């Protein structure tokens, strides 16, 4: 049987339990995932020479990492050719492109330093998201940025935040697609602090100042990401969950939850419903924390599926800004990106072909025996046939065929990079 024939057979099997697979496929075609640019070069960026700082780490040195904007764009292009549907590209401010010997520090960056990215996005017909880069820079003093007690340092980063809002609005206006601008700061302390309030008060004031500039809130969707700890900053994190959720709720911006930023048994999938009840929109960084915020490649695993279920069955596809955030330097980076993107889509499709209404009825009528039995049965439904059809319909390689293309690209392009 070919892919279409297998799909037709699967469609009938799902229809028997009230699931419309055509509708599921159509819905998935319209879900844009924001793909992070930083998997391609291990979060190095183009504006600084120093090491990656801020309590995050890449490990591994698989050959072929992108070294220039052109290489990074070519790699992203390759990934998009292997991933079904149209998505967004998520940039960090450290990926500014300076030409003809020009340089602008982070407090002075302007839209023109991102024109090449806008041209790239226009050519691909995609939107851009953005992130101020509050790490890997000499102005991160004693591990602090927006919460620094040193005025000069804090003001530098406030100006950076403002510059990023202007750049985000430029993206949205040039591309006609709103830009999600996510603020994450690494600020924290290795050991028990004497003053927990002061740094948070300064962070709050810094955010107030950044958000005080005029900008179009329908075009720039400002998000604020929390964290529990970073490497070398184990005892205290300024932008904790309580801080960011409260700040966002009180200031009309969006809370961003990264599922690597909580205690190991705390699940973001369980937080989504509560956040949806109190917020019009929420934002996610989907990642895979292995014992800590390790940012392993997203798999088709239990938590990714559970996150996708929460988005789908709560009718929240248009209310969740979905982005990926991982960086594995130990494997082929094109493969890492492709696996993560396709797995996020698989998880969404898996949720879309679940009889969610029936499951809810079973729960509400206390029929937990049948609920468990049915949920387990779903695991061996012909989901793969629907996924393969989705890939074929969207003109990307089916099953593992994409991997052969990655290997060809490695041989012809990546292996030539010194």
Ligand X SMILES: C[C@H](O)[C@H](O)[C@@H](O)C(=O)CO
Q: Residue numbers of the site for ligand X (CB under 6 A)? A: 38, 43, 56, 131, 184, 225, 227, 258, 285, 293, 325
CA pair distance 163, 328, nearest whole angstrom: 29
How big is the chain, counted in residues? 418
Choose the catalytic residue: 36, 78, 285, 309: 285
Matching residue, tokens 């994409």:
402
261 marked as binding residue: yes
Work out the burial of residue 330: count CB atoms within 10 Å of its CB; fewer than 13 is exposed, 13-18 middle, 19 or more buried: middle
CB of 107 vs ligand X, minimal distance in Å: 18
CA pair distance 223, 182, nearest whole angstrom: 4
**Contact indicator for 203, 187 with CB cutoff of 8 Å:** yes
CA pair distance 186, 133, nearest whole angstrom: 10
Give the residue with the Cβ less far from Mn ion, 131 or 345: 131
CB of 164 vs ligand X, minimal distance in Å: 12
CB of 228 vs ligand X, minimal distance in Å: 10
Residue 129 annotated in active site: no
Residue 227 annotated in active site: yes
In whole angstroms, how far apart are CA 241 and each of 203, 227, 229, 405? Answer: 14, 6, 11, 41
Q: Is 354 helix (H, G, I), strand (E, B) or coil?
A: coil
Check residue 325 for interaction with Mn ion (CB under 5 A). Answer: yes
119 marked as binding residue: no
CB of 258 vs ligand X, minimal distance in Å: 5
The conformation of residue 216, written as its DSSP 8-state character, comes to: -
Check residue 285 for interaction with Mn ion (CB under 5 A). Answer: yes
- Token pair belonging to 218: 């329908």
Which of ligand X, Mn ion, none lies near 410, with the C-beta cut-off 5 to 8 A by kind? none
Check residue 410 for interaction with Mn ion (CB under 5 A). Answer: no
Give the residue with the Cβ less far from ligand X, 310 or 325: 325
Which of Mn ion, ligand X, none lies near 43, with the C-beta cut-off 5 to 8 A by kind? ligand X
Give the residue with the Cβ less far from Mn ion, 92 or 285: 285
Q: Is 52 helix (H, G, I), strand (E, B) or coil?
A: coil
Give the residue with the Cβ less far from Mn ion, 325 or 410: 325
Residue 23 annotated in active site: no
Residue 293 annotated in active site: yes
Angle CA(197)–CA(202)–CA(207) in degrees, nearest 5? Answer: 125
Annotated binding site for Mn(2+): 261, 293, 295
Give the residue numbers marked as catalytic: 184, 225, 227, 258, 261, 285, 293, 295, 325
């Amino acid at each position: 049987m070919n892919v279409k024939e297998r799909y037709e057979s699967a469609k009938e099997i799902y229809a028997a339990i009230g699931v419309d697979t055509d509708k599921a496929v159509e819905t998935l075609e319209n879900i844009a995932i924001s793909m992070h640019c930083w998997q391609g070069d291990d979060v190095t960026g183009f504006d600084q020479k120093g090491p990656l700082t801020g309590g995050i780490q890449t490990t591994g040195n698989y050959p072929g990492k992108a070294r220039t904007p052109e290489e990074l764009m070519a790699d992203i292009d390759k990934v998009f050719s292997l991933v079904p549907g149209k998505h967004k590209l998520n940039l960090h401010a450290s990926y500014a492109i300076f030409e003809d010997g020009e340089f602008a520090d982070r407090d002075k960056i302007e839209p023109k330093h991102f024109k090449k990215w806008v041209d790239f996005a226009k050519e691909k017909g995609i939107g851009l998201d953005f992130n101020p880069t509050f790490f890997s820079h000499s102005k991160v003093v004693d591990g602090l940025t927006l919460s620094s007690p040193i005025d000069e340092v804090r003001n530098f980063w406030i100006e950076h935040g403002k510059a990023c809002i202007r750049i985000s609005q430029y993206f949205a206006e040039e591309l006609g697609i709103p830009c999600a601008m996510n603020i994450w700061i690494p600020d924290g302390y290795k050991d028990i602090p004497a003053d927990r309030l002061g740094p948070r008060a300064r962070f709050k004031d810094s955010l107030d100042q950044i958000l005080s500039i005029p900008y179009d809130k329908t075009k720039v969707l400002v998000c604020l990401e929390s964290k529990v700890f970073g490497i070398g900053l184990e005892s205290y994190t300024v932008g904790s969950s309580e801080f960011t959720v409260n700040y966002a709720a009180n200031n009309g911006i969006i809370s961003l939850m990264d599922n690597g930023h909580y205690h190991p048994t705390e699940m973001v999938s369980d937080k989504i419903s509560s956040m949806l009840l109190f917020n019009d929109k929420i934002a996610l960084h989907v990642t895979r924390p292995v014992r800590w915020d390790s940012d392993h490649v997203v798999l088709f695993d239990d938590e990714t599926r559970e996150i996708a279920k929460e988005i789908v069955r709560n009718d929240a596809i248009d209310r969740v800004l979905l982005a990926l955030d991982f960086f594995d330097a130990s494997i082929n980076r094109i493969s890492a990106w492709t696996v993560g993107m396709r797995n996020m889509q698989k998880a969404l499709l898996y949720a879309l072909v679940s009889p969610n209404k029936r499951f809810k009825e079973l729960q509400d009528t206390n029929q937990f025996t049948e609920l468990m039995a049915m949920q387990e049965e779903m695991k061996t439904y012909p989901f793969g046939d629907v996924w393969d059809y989705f890939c074929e319909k969207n003109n990307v390689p089916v099953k593992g065929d994409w991997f052969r293309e990655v290997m060809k690209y490695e041989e012809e392009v990546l292996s030539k990079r010194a």
